[in-house]
Structure 1
C-alpha cells in the first residue's frame, strides 16, 4: 500500500504575519488513488488558552477535539500556534469531498475562524491488468471449445463401433435363447444326459450277449 503524507506549512507570527491577524492554513487539494493513506492538516496562528477544532466534510461535522497550551510557559504566554491532523487509512472513493477546519477559541474570549478547506479526490485503482487477463481468458475460451469439439468428433467412430458390438451381441444372445425355447429343441445338458443313458444301455446289452 502506498503511503501518501501531505504536510501543510506552519504559519507562525514570527513569519511576518501582522500582529492580531489570525491565519488558518489547510493542506492544498489532494488527488489520490483508493487504498492509499492520506494525512491532511490544519494549522493556525491564533492566541488561545483553550479552543476546539472541528473538522467538517461537506459541512457535516466528522471530528471535534479540544486544544490546550502544550506546557506551563505557553500557558502563561498563551498558545500562539498549533495544528490538527485528519488521517485516512486505506482511503476509498466515498471519502472524496471538501474537508474544512473550523476553530472556536473559548478563552480568553469567544472567537471563530475557518480555513479554506481541502478537497480530496479519490480515483479508482487501475484495473487494466485485470481487464486484460479477463479478455485473455475470454479469448482462450473459444479455442478450448474447439479442441473439445474436435476430440469428441474423433471419439465418435470408436463410440459407434462399441455400441454396434454390444447391439449385435445382444441380438445374438436373444436369437440363441429363442432357438432353444422352440419345440423339439432340448437344452444341451439334457441332451448330454440322454446320450449317456443310451451308451450305458448299449454296454449293458453287450455284456448280457457275452454272458449267454
Structure 2
C-alpha cells in the first residue's frame, strides 16, 4: 500500500464517525422541525398582505419557537456533514460549498429572526416577513444546489436525491400563515432521510481518494 493510499485510508477512518454523527444530528433536527411545523399548523390561521388590516398574523408559540431554535443548528450540522462528504468525494466541491453556505446563511437568518421574536417581541415581530422571505429563499436555493450535487455525485440513491430536490421546491409553496405551512414537512423528512443514510452508510459513502480536487 502506498503512502498516499495509507493517508487516504486514515482520513476515511476518522471521517466515517464524523459523517455518521452529522447524520444523527440531521435526523434529530428533522424530527424537531417536522414537529414544529405540525404544531404551528394547528394555530389559528393568520393573514397575508391586505388581510392583515383586519386580522392578526399567526405567530409562533413558545413551544414552536423552541423546537425551531433547537432544530436549525442540528440541521446545519447535517449540512456540514454533506460538505465533508463533498470534500471526500473530490468532485463538484464548489457547487457543494456554494449550496452549503447559501443554505446556512438562509437558516441563520430564520434562526435569528425566530430567536429575536421569541425573546424580545413576545412572538410578534412586526417585520418578520422581511426576514422570513430572504431566509427562505436562501434555504431553498442552497438546498437545490446541494440536491444537484447529490444527484451528480451518485453517493446517495437517485430516489433520495430527487426527493431532496422536490422537497426543496415545495418550500416555495409553504406559507407559515396558512395550512400551506405543511408543505415544509417533506423537506424535514428529506433531511431526516439523508441523515439516516449518512448514519447507516457512512463508510460506504466515502471512497478512498488522495483528497479533494
Greater C-alpha radius of gyration: 1
Larger proportion of strand:
1
Q: Which has the higher contact order (CA 8 A, sep 6+)?
A: 2
TM-score range, shorter chain: under 0.3
Using the size of structure 2 for normalisation, the TM-score is 0.19
Using the size of structure 1 for normalisation, the TM-score is 0.19
